[in-house]
């Protein structure tokens, strides 16, 4: 994988990337279904069915992306303010005529350094207005027997997510990983 | 910074995505496929709904995205785990274990 960081420069750039990513997903799913023997029409319908509501997914991604861009603007503003504060603090410290002014300069410099450190450690960050209200990820349990169907409208019945050893899917993931790492 | 208090159900789903990404960078389609395959087709992500979750997780700093060439030489967005994501995975796994043990205790005593 040759890499280029995903850092959209603006809203239009971000929306173009979202569109490209979602279309790529549908294309990959369509190809897989074609390879499994479906006709082109069936494969496309299956891909769209599995994907869900394309418009609402795209809108949700756009909304999150817009929020992130706003956060980046706020972050840049905070960084700028820190540098101004540090500059003022050092100026007062070095050129202040009386002790009190130099002490104020010291204080401002230390606050700016501390603030930058907290920002670096991600202890402070611009407010995420929608933090904790993340979109629901539809995760379903499919029937364990061989009555699997594909595409939209397939039957999905809740079943216990344990194998014959009583392990959950997560435990199986961890066990598989341990096996492959040995 | 890893969050200590999380919604357990949502956290479980986030945990699966984080856990899937420990094997290396993957694009969204591969993430959905891996979760389904690793669970022996028991778990199935509604594929479109994965993307808002990935964008949200990227915003939290748990994963980062990078454009690269896919196996069929198409431009694809690959997600990988960050250090904060590994910490969050540990938190989510711990929450999951606590939930699982609590439910098991209730089922044994009820």
Check whether A177 has a pLDDT greater than 70. no
In the prediction, which pLDDT does A165 show? 63
Asked whether residue A116 falls in the same domain as residue A147, the answer is no
pLDDT confidence bin for A162, thresholds 50/70/90? low
In the prediction, which pLDDT does A147 show? 43
In the prediction, which pLDDT does B63 show? 96
The total domain count for chain A is 2
Asked whether residue A25 falls in the same domain as residue A114, the answer is yes
Buried/exposed B62-86: b ≥16 CB within 10 Å, e otherwise: bbbbbbbebeeeeebbbbbbbebbe
In the prediction, which pLDDT does A124 show? 60
Interface residue A146 vs chain B (CB under 8 A): no
DSSP H or E segment with residue B78: strand B75-81
Interface residue A52 vs chain B (CB under 8 A): yes
Check whether B76 has a pLDDT greater than 90. yes
Residues of A in contact with B83 (CB under 8 A): none
Check whether A72 has a pLDDT greater than 60. yes
Three-state DSSP at B90 gives helix
Interface residue A154 vs chain B (CB under 8 A): no
In the prediction, which pLDDT does A173 show? 52
In a domain, B3, yes or no: no
In a domain, B2, yes or no: no
Beta carbons of A141 and B47 less than 8 Å apart:
no
Beta carbons of A141 and B68 less than 8 Å apart:
no
The total domain count for chain B is 1
Residues of B in contact with A52 (CB under 8 A): 46-49
| C-alpha count within 13 angstroms, C-beta hemisphere, residue A134 | 24
In the prediction, which pLDDT does A134 show? 45
Asked whether residue A29 falls in the same domain as residue A78, the answer is yes
Q: How far apart are CA A75 and CA A83, in angstroms?
A: 13
pLDDT confidence bin for A119, thresholds 50/70/90? confident
In the prediction, which pLDDT does A137 show? 55
In a domain, A30, yes or no: yes
Nearest CB neighbour to A61, from listed B40, B43, B51: B51
Overall average pLDDT of the A118-147 stretch:
57
Asked whether residue A87 falls in the same domain as residue A150, the answer is no
**Which of A120, A148, A173 finishes a domain?**
A120
Asked whether residue A80 falls in the same domain as residue A153, the answer is no
> Bridge partners of B81?
B63
Domain hosting A178: range is 139-182
Domain hosting B75: range is 8-109
Asked whether residue A47 falls in the same domain as residue A103, the answer is yes
Of A160, A170, A179, which to mutate for an interface test with B (greatest number of B Cβ within 10 Å)?
A: A170
Which residues make Cβ contacts (< 8 Å) with residue A171, sequence separation at least 6?
none
The per-residue pLDDT of chain B, averaged, comes to 87
Which ipTM score applies to this complex? 0.85
Asked whether residue A18 falls in the same domain as residue A94, the answer is yes
In a domain, A4, yes or no: no
Q: Which pLDDT tens digit goes with each residue over B5-21? A: 444 465 677 899 999 99
Interface residue A85 vs chain B (CB under 8 A): no
Smallest CA–CA separation between B46 and chain A, in Å?
Answer: 5
Asked whether residue A104 falls in the same domain as residue A49, the answer is yes
Asked whether residue A33 falls in the same domain as residue A98, the answer is yes
Overall average pLDDT of the B28-52 stretch:
89
């Amino acid at each position: 994988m040759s890499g280029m960081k995903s850092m959209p420069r603006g809203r239009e750039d971000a929306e173009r990337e979202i569109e490209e990513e979602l279309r790529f997903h549908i294309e990959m799913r369509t190809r897989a279904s074609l390879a499994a023997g479906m006709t082109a029409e069936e494969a496309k319908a299956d891909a769209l069915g599995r994907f869900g509501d394309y418009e609402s997914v795209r809108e949700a991604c756009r909304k999150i992306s817009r929020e992130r861009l706003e956060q980046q603007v706020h972050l840049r503003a905070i960084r700028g303010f820190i540098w101004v504060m540090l500059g003022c603090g050092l100026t007062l410290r070095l050129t202040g005529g009386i002790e009190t002014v130099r002490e104020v300069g010291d204080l401002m410099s230390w606050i700016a350094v501390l603030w930058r450190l907290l920002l670096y450690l991600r202890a402070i960050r611009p407010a995420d207005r929608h933090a904790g209200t993340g979109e629901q990820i539809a995760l379903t349990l499919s029937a364990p027997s061989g009555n699997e169907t594909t595409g939209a409208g397939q039957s999905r019945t809740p079943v216990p997510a344990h194998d014959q050893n009583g392990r959950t899917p997560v435990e199986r993931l961890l066990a598989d990983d341990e096996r492959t790492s040995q | 910074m890893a969050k200590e208090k999380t919604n357990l159900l949502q956290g479980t789903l986030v945990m699966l995505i984080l856990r899937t990404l420990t094997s290396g960078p993957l694009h969204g389609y591969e993430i959905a496929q891996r979760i389904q395959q690793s669970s022996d087709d028991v778990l199935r992500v509604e594929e479109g709904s994965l993307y808002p979750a990935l964008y949200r997780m990227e915003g939290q700093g748990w994963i980062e995205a990078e454009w690269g060439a896919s196996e069929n030489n198409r431009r694809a967005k690959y997600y990988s785990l960050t250090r904060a994501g590994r910490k969050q995975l540990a938190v989510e796994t711990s929450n999951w274990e606590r939930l699982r043990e609590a439910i098991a205790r209730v089922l044994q005593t009820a």
